[in-house]
Structure 1
Amino acid sequence: MPAALPPPQHHWVLPFAACASDDWLPAVRAMPPAASRHLGKLLQGMKLVHTDSGDVRSLTPPHERVLARALGLQAPDGLIPWAAWQHLQGGGAPAARAWAFITPCHWAMGREHATMTDPAALDLSEAESRTLLAAMQPYFETYGITLHYAAPTRWLAEGELFRDLPSASLDRVLGRNVDPWLPGTGSVEARFGAGPPQTETAPAGGSVLHEVKSVGARKMRLLQNEMQMLLYTHAVNDARATNRQLAVNSFWISSSGALPDTFHAKAQPDTAVSRSLAHAAFSDDWAAYTQAWTALDASEGARLLALQQGGATVRLSLCGESNAFTFETAKTGIFSRMKSLFGQQPLSVLLEQL
């Protein structure tokens, strides 16, 4: 019986390795073999160790589920407590309080729905962000929520309302219609209809969504309406309009939930999360997407391959919008290697299963 391998020393997580867009598959199939040369060799020395099967309509995308599983942050869909985790990592008390991220953002208003613009496009300064936080804080306080500044487009929000309030990841809604993903929207059928979701209105995900009936969801919708009215005439936005910058006209709630008092994170390998594929997908730029694959293969792919060939145990998680495959270094003979899941097939064959 072969000796067991040591725990993985390195973990590479690739969000949006597959996408729901109709333009994704033709772009990936058109990539030359050289674009995944290192990745192909890396996978030939690996075995599939975990499959995360999900639903395209879940609130939590596969890559967040993969990272949460690695840490031991198991929670229902939309309630992986990343905000509470960040608070704890920042030296906060491990009390089981409820937290969420609040992202000041811009909704592009169309004739039928609002579309979420990438918050990075705001180029929001710290001074602007802190001014808006101070103006919004009293309104949040009426709902028992305290805001804490973390970064220009990320605030920590503490409040009991977030304990059982599922929220959609920003990665579900960027560049897409916000309506199906708002708190309190309801069941899968209510949010997307009985048929399969359309890319524009139904980004991707994992587990089955549940009804959101809480009072907290209704309060968050009211608060969002109040903040849209406040922000419409705020001096920060007047100044931004003068400078031809996008207005901050709403906010997004994500990563809601609470950590138990007894929570202890699992020991983690060195983890790299590559976001270049995601950014290209959000922009619907498939030329940039395929270029990102080539660059990732030449950088992180080559690095992990060298580590694996040097005897290190490495892990790779390829994440789509529904599912994720996690591979790990395996001791394989020549015959097993020939039967490798990846083998000599094009990368697209494997990615289509995501």
Structure 2
Amino acid sequence: MSDTNHLLIPYAASAATGCQQALQGLALPHLDRLLARLSPHPTHSDSGEETSFSAPHERALARALGLPAQDGRIPWAAWHRHQQVQSPNGDAWAFVTPCQWQVSTDHVTLRNPEHLALDDAASRALLAIVSPWFAEDGITLHYDQPTRWLASSPLFADLATASLERVLQRDVRAWMPDAKAARTLHRLHSEMQMLLYTHAFNDERSERGLPVINSFWVHGTGPIPTPAPSALPTPTVPTTLRDAALNEDWRAWAAAWTALDAGPVADLLRKSEGGEPVQLTLCGERNTLAFHTAPRTLAQRFQSLFRPQRFTDMCDKL
């Protein structure tokens, strides 16, 4: 069930130079009017670092759903599994994403799996190739979708891992899980690279001009609490800013903000003006700023009239 009165916006701002330039000419009138009506929601705001394993919008969404929000330990895979079978048993799960690591002299970069043209049949064939290797270490793999499998193992019970989008197009070495706690995964990474380097699966892909797959990324680890959280409405989470930011396409990012302002943000403003309680959660790459409908003091009303807080003025806080 989606909560249309709570808008949670990932990648609302970034410290990237291209984003800062895009912000200079960005006009978001509906967002500025909405911010003038709402009050800060300190208990739903939080701060982190660009090096945090979990992105701010992931932490915010986890809290909204009643899930644990520890950095790197948000059990997205277990939650996904629970949504499928509705039978939580305390098992630890993880997502495993097949991917390509591009190795250069000073970087090991993770290429976006969405660009690998990995379809259902190819993904299932690759899963059959690598599953026995994972099984030897007590990790059971299950097919979920072409660019994401499910994995169950006690290994994931308390292992902090970086979310996939944190490491996309970046050097994976800065985002690897703790070497001692994840010794098994580190060894599996080496084994998979050796296995797949000369495997017929990749030979066939190369002949077709497709990128080879030589590694994997583990994320979304942990068990969900027992008993599982009660079903809560899911905030509305647009992904257009996220997609543009991950591709570092700041012109598209600015266009996505303009569309959001004219669409979902304008709708939330109308609800607020109509007396409905609303929530707005803005997430950057470090921090989260949350706002909600709440009684305002006379001083706050005065400030909103004569010193309105505009979105572009608060971007450095995200």
Cα offsets for 1:287-342 (capped at 9, x unmatched): 11111111111221122222222332221110011110111123458863342399
One-letter amino acid of the structure 2 residue matched with residue 287 of structure 1 = R
Indicate how the Cα distance of structure 1 residues 130 and 342 shifts in structure 2: closer, same or farther if over 3 A, else same: farther
Aligned counterparts of 1:118 and 1:303: Cα–Cα separation in 2: 33
Find 2:226's aligned residue among 261, 277, 287. Answer: 261
Aligned counterparts of 1:69 and 1:153: Cα–Cα separation in 2: 26
Offset, 1:241: 1.6
> In angstroms, what is the RMSD of aligned CA positions?
2.1
Alignment partner, residue 297 of structure 1: 261
Aligned counterparts of 2:19 and 2:295: Cα–Cα separation in 1: 34
Considering fraction of residues, name the structure with more helix: 2
Find 1:337's aligned residue among 281, 301, 311. Answer: 301
Indicate how the Cα distance of structure 1 residues 343 and 327 shifts in structure 2: closer, same or farther if over 3 A, else same: farther
Normalized against structure 2, the TM-score is what? 0.92
Find 2:11's aligned residue among 3, 12, 16. Answer: 16
Matched position secondary structure for 2:174: helix
Contact 2:29 2:261 in 1 (8 A): yes
Matched position secondary structure for 1:284: coil
Aligned counterparts of 1:227 and 1:89: Cα–Cα separation in 2: 30
- Say if 2:98 is the partner of 1:104: yes
Aligned counterparts of 2:39 and 2:309: Cα–Cα separation in 1: 15
Offset, 1:24: 2.2
Alignment partner, residue 317 of structure 2: 353
Offset, 1:25: 1.6
Alignment partner, residue 166 of structure 1: 160
Alignment partner, residue 206 of structure 1: none
Contact 1:66 1:324 in 2 (8 A): yes
Q: Which moved more, 1:87-96 or 1:70-79?
A: 70-79
Contact 2:140 2:152 in 1 (8 A): yes
Cα offsets for 1:217-248 (capped at 9, x unmatched): 01101001111122222333222222222222
Alignment partner, residue 313 of structure 1: 277
Aligned counterparts of 1:302 and 1:346: Cα–Cα separation in 2: 15
Normalized against structure 1, the TM-score is what? 0.83
- Say if 2:53 is the partner of 1:89: no
Alignment partner, residue 251 of structure 2: 287
Offset, 1:166: 0.8
Contact 2:59 2:69 in 1 (8 A): no
Alignment partner, residue 145 of structure 2: 151
Alignment partner, residue 47 of structure 2: 53
Aligned counterparts of 1:23 and 1:169: Cα–Cα separation in 2: 23
Offset, 1:55: 2.1
- Say if 2:72 is the partner of 1:78: yes
- How many residues are matched? 314
Contact 1:317 1:326 in 2 (8 A): yes
Offset, 1:23: 2.8
Find 1:44's aligned residue among 19, 25, 36. Answer: 36
Aligned counterparts of 1:219 and 1:19: Cα–Cα separation in 2: 35
Matched position secondary structure for 1:52: coil
Offset, 1:158: 0.4
One-letter amino acid of the structure 2 residue matched with residue 41 of structure 1 = R
Aligned counterparts of 2:197 and 2:15: Cα–Cα separation in 1: 34
- Say if 2:57 is the partner of 1:63: yes
Aligned counterparts of 1:181 and 1:172: Cα–Cα separation in 2: 8
Offset, 1:139: 0.4
Aligned counterparts of 1:265 and 1:19: Cα–Cα separation in 2: 33
- Unpaired segments ≥5 residues, structure 1: 1-7, 186-212
- Unpaired segments ≥5 residues, structure 2: none
Cα offsets for 1:9-67 (capped at 9, x unmatched): 62111111122323322221232x2xx11111221221111321112221111111101
Aligned counterparts of 1:232 and 1:110: Cα–Cα separation in 2: 16
Matched position secondary structure for 1:76: coil
Alignment partner, residue 187 of structure 2: 222
Indicate how the Cα distance of structure 1 residues 48 and 345 shifts in structure 2: closer, same or farther if over 3 A, else same: closer
Identity of aligned residues (%): 45
Offset, 1:266: 5.6
Aligned counterparts of 1:230 and 1:308: Cα–Cα separation in 2: 57
- Say if 2:232 is the partner of 1:237: no
Offset, 1:263: 2.5
- Say if 2:317 is the partner of 1:325: no
Give the 5 Å matches for 1:109-148. Answer: 109-148=103-142
Offset, 1:177: 1.1
